[in-house]
Structure 1
Amino acid sequence: MNYRFQNLLGAPYRGGNTVIVNNTLLISPIGNRISVTDLIKSETITLPFQASSNISRLAASPDGIFLLAVDDNSRCLFINIPRRAVLHRITFKGPVTCLKFSPDGLLIAVGVGKLVQIWRSPGFVKEFFPFELVKTFANFNDKVTSVDWSPDSEYLLVGCRDLTVRLFCLKKKISELNNKYKPFMFLGHRDVIVGAFFGVEKKTKRVDRVYTLSRDGAIFSWSFNPSDDKLDENIDEPESPGTPEQRMEVDGNVNVKKRKNEDGDGDVEGNDGSLLHKGKWEMVKKDFFNQAGAKLSSCDYHRGLEIVVVGFSNGVFGIYQMPDFVCIHLLSISREKITTATFNELGNWLTFGCAKLGQLLVWEWKSESYILKQQGHYYDVNAIAYSPDSQLLATGADDNKIKVWTVSSGFCFVTFSEHTNAVTALHFMASNHCLLSASLDGTVRAWDLFRYRNFRTFTTPSPRQFVSLTSDQSGEVICAGTLDSFEIFVWSMKTGRLLDVLSGHEGPVHGLMFSPTNAILASSSWDKTVRLWDVFDGKGSVETFHHSHDVLTVVYRPDGKQLASSTLDGVIHFWDPINGLPIHTIEGRRDIAGGRLMTDRRTAASSTSGKCFTTLSYSADGNYILAGGSSRYICMYDVADKVLLRRFQITLNLSLDGVLDILNSKNMTDAGPLNLIDDDNSDVDDGVDKQTRIKSTYDLPGSMPNRGRPIVRTKCLRIAPTGRSWAAATTEGVLVYSMDDNFIFDPTDLDIDVTPEAIEAALGEDQPSRALILSLRLNEDNLIKKCILAVAPVDIKAVVASIPFKYLNRLIQTFAELLEICPHLEFILRWCQELSKCHGHSIQQNSRNLLPSLKSLQKAITRLHQDLGDTCSSNEYMLRYLCSTTSKP
């Protein structure tokens, strides 16, 4: 039962800025989580922790080790990226609009409302107060929009919504003097400042210019002329009311580098020998991007290449060579606003994000090729399906699209968009390369995952809306249930012809599933019944199970000897489909309860509406069942004992509705909940979360769609055939949970003699059987693998024969893991072969308990077979080519 969060699929990007660390790791926010994409390996992982609400701003340290993530509630996480751990937390006293590490990594500039705060960056040393406020600049008339550091970390360029850009100095000498010093102001823009950047001279690496960009598409170039005057001894930094001033010097508390000039007088100058705040800044050029009707929404500047990239609200982006303002590229990636545009450190890759479309692109501008092209679902995911080998996961959503993901890498490799309405059900065929989908557009389509095309479409004489889908084990018959006519349509997979129409239900047919062992079809409907149909004999309904409330879904146990159905009153019913008798029920209303909507007039404890399971899924061995619905919880039950084993809380995101049990009464006004009143006049687009939610096909009878914040819920649950992972289609996306691969000590069958030292001694005495059995009893993964690899090939048969049956499950799991990482392929396959020969009869008799491990082994062998097949084919063509090009002697 050791399932832990592994990944989040379905929404690679939802808003906020993105950063690239170490040139190859792309870090982007996904709601209240953070996704890390390796652009070289094409792998995406989601960090295991959550913020309190949607993450809006990210900043990475120059060395790529630390990450700052700030959410909509101004709560900040200080993260160690390699360790994937949260080191510190802090809450800012206002909305954070921008933040950035200094180039030396010692300071952090944070734009908090109308203030710019300079914080000392925490390090690896454990401290009671890791964050220390060093300085605050308060000379702004509106919100801060951008910050940029000079290369020497001594100057700060700050853009603001009051149409100005200010140059601040952090030098120690100035803060010690008495008189006030006013920051230099760059004026002339007629719209909100989007970005301001320092420019450096290539040869001397000195700051000699500044670029300022505004929302109306203007970019101003400013040139610096050094002044011959020395620093006046009567110049001082402006006072910051209400903010403690910290001295910028090296002592026991502040780790800031002290920079001295050659004279050693303590006066800190720029790396060009002049003071940027003492010289003269002149506007030398005004340029305009000339995007009629579009606003500049994002920008970035690369100092080394002197290139600026800009993104506009119409989906167009441009790359310009500065300071000559020469257009290198001007392309369009969508019709929606580009919310982030970022260079990597080398400047060869560009990252673009479109929050409204959930789109994330990494583009190499020199070769004009895509490094990464991922897009999440525009609306909620309705259906998911695992492939039989558990390597692929298909998702279908209200945006009419079907996406197929590789579970191990978290990447979507194909998108099907032929449906013209919401996709409501998905089903993988046993062949592993055929996917079925049902939609409200009145079609059921079959997709070829080899050629990536729709090779067959199943329709009805008159238009119908399909909400459920299944096929028999042989793949000869396809069945789909309807929302409007309450019928079940049966087609032939080979010919595509409509074979039969099953009538009898008096409500929408939301659940369909064939028995795993015979040709009996089970269907559930809102007419309070579950019906069994003999599809091949044409006898119609052969059994009817009556319920007291509307039936929302139905599933078979993998052995076909049990049937589970969920009703509107929050009860899970278990039936014997062979004898047609009820077995028992599980009352789940209290377990799934929790979460009060902002529009609810009752507390979560006293409310009785919506507390039911809308999706069920049996485990591979049938011992437990997962249930989810209109709640933030997913419940895992033991079927035999009827007890709750575990509850998974799918999200802690306060940006969603239904996460809190108790609401703050201060947020309730005469006009309704405060959070649902749209009084924000700003044109900032927050992406998917601000959109009006359409009514889902999975909303229960009589329910009204939420026109405010999205409601947390689970629409579909599927356990992988291997049993090692499961996926849930939720409001946050598709959550993937899997078994923890790390070692967890589980002391089963131990005594005082079972120790790692005893195992090492057995290996040293050339007793492989005893060493392997001791390691299996100790249940430590590394020792088990070491003992397996220590066995000589000629001794494998004898060692396998000595293994007790109760350790076979653990041994098979280890073989599946070794096939993924071990280079000794023939050696491990020899183990599997001897295990099947020696314990084949026992495995067959206890296949139900061993099914998850066997599925994992099958998955590993299938993947290796595919990889070897591709390698052999490639080598064959290469040898043919070499033979054809070899000259004759």
Structure 2
Amino acid sequence: MNFRFQNLLGAPYRGGNVVISSNTVLLSPVGNRVAVTDLLKSETTTLPLQSSSNVTRITVSPDATFLLAIDDRNRCLFINLRRRALLHRITFKHRVAASKFSPDGALIAVAAGKLVQIWRSPAFRREYFPFELVRTFADFDAKVTSLDWSPDSKYLIAGSKDLTARILCLKKLNSGGVKKRPFLLLGHRDSVVGSFFGVNSKTNRVCKAYTVSRDCYLFSWGFTSDDDGEGEEDGGEGLEPPSPGTPERDVEENFELSENDGVKKMKKISENDGVKKRKKIDIEDGDEGYLSRGKWELLRKDGFMQGWAKVTACDYHRGLDMVVVGFSNGVFGLYQMPDFVCIHLLSISREKITTAVFNEFGNWLTFGCAKLGQLLVWEWRSESYILKQQGHYFDVNCVAYSPDSQLLATGADDNKVKVWTLSSGFCFVTFSEHTNAVTALHFMPSNNVLLSASLDGTIRAWDLLRYRNFKTFTTPSPRQFVSLTADISGEVICAGTSDSFEVFVWSMKTGRLMDVLSGHEAPVHGLVFSPTNAVLASSSYDKTVRLWNVFDGKGAVETFPHTHDVLTVVYRPDGRQLACSTLDGQIHFWDPIDGLLMYTIEGSRDIAGGRLMTDRRSAANSTSGKFFTTLCFSADGSYILAGGSSRYICMYDVADQVLLRRFQITHNLSLDGVLDILNSKNMTEAGPLDLIDDDSSDIEEGVDKQTRGKLGLDLPGSMPNRGRPIIQTKSLRIASTGRSFVAATTEGVLVYSVDESFIFDPTDLDINVTPEAVEEALRENQPSKALILSLRLNEDSFVKKCIFAVSPADIPAVATSIPYKYIQRLVEALADLLENCPHLEFILRWSQELCKAHGNSIQQNSRNLLPSLKSLQKAITRIHQDLADTCSSNEYMLRYLCSSGAKK
């Protein structure tokens, strides 16, 4: 029962900005979580921490230790990335559009509404309130949209929707007792999307700046010094600001003021003089206010020439002096500065690019498209993809494990079938031949064939070796399929319909329609074959569960009546029990051989919880969602998982009919149905405040409301759903190893695995079973005693240490001495070692001798040992495939070496 959240599949990116830390680690927000992708190892994991709503802004410290995650409710999490631990929380008063750590990591700049706040970064020490506000800049007239630090962490450049960019100095500078105002960079005709400092490559001092406006223009600014402290934008001390139109304000003529003998004079400088002055500031002493003793001038203004498109994302790399820009039409451009030379101009999608980022070395570009759930990492020099992932556009309807538990298939309302590798968390193939929502999936025993059912009236078979649709099953007249299964031999395929209430039977080899099973009077949403024989069980909304003998063709063998609609049906792995859920929230367990009702679990109270925005009743009095729509037995049949239109997944003990555990799949308040009690302050005369669609509101780029699909009723082209997504679980599956399970939810596909932390059985401990006793047995060269003590202690590190302490010659004797009740724990340890350690022959020898010594006991109690044996089989199969691939790739090299050796 010790399952914990491990990963989130189905949606690598949903909006906000992405960040690359340590040059190869990509962090991206996914709902209210943050996904971490190692681009070198090609693995992705999801942090176990959850924000209160969808994360819209993330930033990482320069040393890649801390992560700042800010959601759309202005709540911020300060996370230690290396330990994956939450350190602090803080709530900002305004919506945060940008945030960034200073280059030295000591400060954090946050653009909250019209304010730019400078916070001191929390340290490792415990403090009552770790976030300390250092300074606030309130000079902006509209929302601040972008931030960038100078290399010395003393200056900020901030862009705003008031069509300006400002140079902010952290230290308060005074000139003759008068506070100096920030420099203004004017001339933009639309809001500033990005603002960046440029530096001199030799001195690493700020000498230029770039601002990108939303109307597809890039402004290049140059900085020139003023030795006398004058010539600033405010005119300097004792001088009135020059009015617009005077020569000293004309950038093209490049005039400047000089003062000789108290008389103000105007002198035109040449281009060479200007270059000298710009070089002078680069070699000047590192003063606190060196950027305040000079002026900024517009050097050039360049257009991206994208027609009606707008700039939606941009980034700047100081080392390469390059700018990458993403547009609302799905095009991105890479430009070499300061000459504005276009290196690449490519289209990656038809939707707007919501994030574009350089990595540390500048050789990789990361792009994200929130609407498509698309995340790309592209190497611009070789023009090749480092990462290319795209999630499902709509909710996932169904999931299926491969027989060896290494692959996971998902089908969704976007008409696509995706296959994921569970070890890496990546999707490696997408099938898009279906023309309507995918409703059911089933893996064939061969592990290389996947079946999918769809509302488009087809059942398709996919070859996972050649990645193609090699067979399609149809009916004489179009039908909408909502359930799918195949017998244990893989010869017969059955699918249930929602419109004609029939079950269709095909031959897998010939593709011919063999039979049509009639008898149900409502949609057939549950369909499953017995694991031990050819009996087919079907459940329908007509309040019955029917058993069919498909090969005899005599119709329904037996019918189990219920008092409410039957929503789904599953077989226990040994085929001796049948479970089905009904609309009244109960789970009924039947004996399929004798046709008797064994017992019933009342689960409506367990799954209840969560009030929708549109509900007129409280969560306690509402009947909606208080039933299970998906069930799944464990690998050994001892417990059952159940989920439905609720934020909970319930785990029940089958023998005692008691609730063992409830998993809350999310705490995301951006979804509907998470809260039991709604805030009455959010209710207005026009309805709930969160559901009022204000077209004039300023929606952030990249976090627009996403249209959700519901079995094809809300597909592209139809009227968008203005309401918030409702949290629910549509499908549950447990791996054949029993060590993990997946849930297809509104948040995505959640993967839960067994917690590998320290676990022990208190009933098997006595005063002599201690870690010291294990160490003493190892020192006395008693490997059998040490291994048994470590198994009783049940600490993973000691068990593996004792396994390696046994010499290969002693393995048969030690394996024989192990009591049977510890076999399962020992097999689990061997399976884990087989996946992670290089001593392949040693672990295989252990497995072989263990099977020889306890073969009869394992065969007699295969049901209890099935999960651990499946884990061992999975590990052996994976290694066998790796070795086969390696050997086949080196076959000709080995032949050459053997032939050359024979000649010598």
Query: When the two structures are superposed, what TM-score results if normalisation uses the length of structure 2?
Result: 0.92
Give the 5 Å matches for 1:211-226.
Answer: 211-226=210-225
Counterpart residue number, 1:135: 135
Question: In the TM superposition, what is the alpha-carbon distance from 1:785 to its structure 2 partner?
Answer: 0.9
Q: Which residue of 1 aligns with 2:153?
A: 153
Match of 1:239 in 2: none
The one-letter amino acid paired with 1:179 is V
Cα distance in 2, alignment partners of residues 729 and 719 from structure 1 = 12
Q: What's 1:48 paired with?
A: 48
Residue 856 of structure 2 is aligned to residue 841 of structure 1: yes
The DSSP-based 3-state class of the residue aligned with 1:409 is coil
SS in 1 for 2:189: coil
CA contact (8 A) 1:843 1:850 kept: yes
Q: 1:687 to 1:498 in 2, by over 3 A?
A: farther
1:89-128 CA distance string (max 9 Å, x none): 1111111111011111111110011100000011222222
Output aligned runs, 1:698-847, within 5 Å. Answer: 707-847=722-862
1:102 counterpart = 2:117:
no
Q: Find out whether 1:426 has 2:420 as its counterpart.
A: no
Q: Structure 1 residue 498: deviation in Å?
A: 0.7
* Contact 2:16–2:702 (8 Å) recurs in 1: no
1:417 aligns with 2:416: no
For structure 1, the 5+ residue unaligned runs are 237-267
* 1:339-369 Cα distance to aligned partner (Å, 9 max, x none): 0000001000000000000000000000000
What residue is the counterpart of 1:478 in the other structure? Answer: 493
CA contact under 8 A between 1:626 and 1:634: conserved in structure 2? Answer: yes
Tell me by how many angstroms 1:272 deviates: 8.4
Residue 450 in structure 1 maps to residue 465 in structure 2 = yes
Match of 1:17 in 2: 17
Is the partner of 1:794 in helix, strand or coil? Answer: helix
1-structure distance, mates of 2:122, 2:795: 37
Aligned residues: 853
Task: Provide the rounded CA distance (Å) in 2 between the counterparts of 1:319 and 1:574.
Answer: 62
Q: Would you say the 8 A contact 1:358–1:688 is kept in 2?
A: no
Q: Is the 8 A contact 1:424 1:697 kept in 2?
A: no
- Are the aligned partners of 1:693 and 1:707 in contact in 2 as well (CA < 8 Å)? no
CA distance in 1, matches of 2:489, 2:827: 28
Following superposition of structure 1 onto structure 2, how do residues 167-178 of structure 1 map, counting pairs within 5 Å? 167-171=167-171, 174=173, 178=177
Residue 589 of structure 2 is aligned to residue 574 of structure 1: yes
1:171 Cα deviation (Å)? 2.5
Q: For 1:454-483, what per-residue CA distance to the aligned partner results, in whole angstroms no more than 9, with x for missing partners?
A: 111111111111110000000000011111
TM-score normalised over the length of structure 1: 0.93
User: Against the structure 1 CA distance between its residues 442 and 280, is the aligned structure 2 distance closer, same or farther, given a 3 Å change threshold?
Assistant: same
1:825 Cα deviation (Å)? Answer: 1.2
Question: What's the secondary structure of 2:501's corresponding residue?
Answer: coil
Is residue 574–residue 582 contact of structure 1 (8 Å, CA) maintained in 2?
A: yes
Q: Using the TM superposition, give the Cα deviation of residue 800 of structure 1 relative to its aligned residue in structure 2, in angstroms.
A: 1.2
C-alpha displacement at 1:610, in angstroms? 2.3
**Deviation of residue 277 (structure 1)?**
2.2
For each residue in 1:486-507, what CA deviation from the matched residue of structure 2 results, as whole angstroms up to 9, or x when unmatched? Answer: 1111111111111111111111
Q: Is the 8 A contact 2:60 2:66 kept in 1?
A: yes
Tell me the CA shift for residue 278 of structure 1: 2.2
5 Å-filtered alignment, 1:453-464, equals 453-464=468-479
For structure 1, which segment, 435-444 or 788-797, has the greater mean C-alpha deviation from structure 2 after superposition?
788-797
Counterpart amino acid of residue 335 in structure 1: R
Query: Tell me, what secondary structure is at the counterpart of 1:286?
Result: strand
Deviation at 1:682, TM superposition (A): 4.6
Aligned-partner residue type, residue 867 of structure 1: D
Letter in 2 for 1:40: L
Q: Which runs of structure 1 show a deviation greater than 6 angstroms over 4 or more consecutive aligned residues?
A: 883-889
SS in structure 2 at match of 1:198? strand
Counterpart contact for 1:181–1:235, Cα < 8 Å: no
Indicate conservation of the 8 Å contact 2:693/2:722, yes or no: no
Q: What is the root-mean-square deviation of aligned Cα atoms in Å?
A: 2.1
Matched position secondary structure for 1:276: helix
Number of the residue aligned with 2:33: 33
Please tell me whether residue 180 in structure 1 is matched to residue 179 in structure 2: yes
1:516 touches 1:560 (CA, 8 Å); kept in 2?
yes
**How far apart are residue 696 of structure 1 and its match?**
3.0
Q: Which residue of 1 aligns with 2:88?
A: 88
- Deviation at 1:883? 7.0
* Residue 466 of structure 2 is aligned to residue 467 of structure 1: no
Q: SS of 2:291's equivalent?
A: coil
SS across alignment from 1:438: strand
Q: Name 1:648's counterpart in structure 2.
A: 663
> Is 2:226 the partner of 1:227?
yes
Contact 1:297-1:338 within 8 A present in 2 as well = yes
The verdict on how the C-alpha distance between 1:176 and 1:189 changes in structure 2, with shifts beyond 3 A counting, is: closer
Q: Per-residue displacement from partner, 1:285-307 (whole Å, max 9, x unpaired)?
A: 01000001100000000010000
Alignment map for 1:286-305 (pairs within 5 Å):
286-305=301-320
| Counterpart-to-counterpart distance in 2, 1:66 and 1:175 | 35
**Equivalent residues in 2 for 1:626-705, closer than 5 Å:** 626-682=641-697, 684=699, 690-696=705-711
Paired residue for 2:198? 199
Cα distance in 2 between the residues matched to 1:689 and 1:352: 17
Query: Does the 8 Å contact 2:461/2:472 carry over to 1?
Result: yes
Letter of the 1:62 partner, please give it.
Answer: P
Provide the residue aligned with 1:596 in structure 2. Answer: 611
* Ranges in structure 2 where 5+ consecutive residues have no aligned partner: 239-282
3-state DSSP class of the match of 1:5? strand
Cα 1:97–1:351 shift into 2, 3 Å: same
Asked if 1 retains the 8 angstrom alpha-carbon contact of 2:56 and 2:703, the reply is: no
The answer to whether the Cα contact below 8 Å between 1:167 and 1:277 also exists between their aligned partners in 2 is no
Q: Verify the 8 A CA contact 1:748 1:777 in the aligned structure 2.
A: no
Distance across 2 between alignment mates of 1:4 and 1:132 = 35
TM-superposed CA distance for 1:757, in Å, is: 1.4
Structure 2 counterpart of 1:560, from 570, 575, 579 = 575
Asked whether the equivalents of residues 146 and 158 of structure 1 are also in contact (C-alpha less than 8 Å), the reply is: yes
Instruction: Give the superposition deviation at 1:681.
Output: 2.3
Q: Identify the match of residue 324 of structure 1 among 321, 325, 339.
A: 339
Counterpart CA distance in 1 for 2:398 and 2:352 is 29
- Aligned pair in 2 of structure 1 residues 864, 102: CA closer, same or farther (>3 Å)? same
Determine if the alignment matches structure 1 residue 364 to structure 2 residue 363.
no
Aligned amino acid, residue 225 of structure 1: T
Which residue of 395, 398, 409 maps to 1:380?
A: 395
1:612-653 Cα deviation digits (max 9, x unpaired): 100000000001000000000000000110100000000000
- 1:3 and 1:99 map into 2 onto residues whose CA distance is 35
- Aligned partner of 1:259 in structure 2 is none
- Code of the residue aligned with 1:322 in structure 2: it is M
Any conservation in 2 of the 1:747–1:779 contact (CA below 8 Å)? no
Aligned match of 1:257: none
Distance 1:600 1:274, change over 3 A: closer
Query: Is the 2:414–2:709 contact (alpha carbons within 8 Å) kept by the matching residues of 1?
Result: no
1:424–1:438 Cα contact (<8 Å) kept:
yes
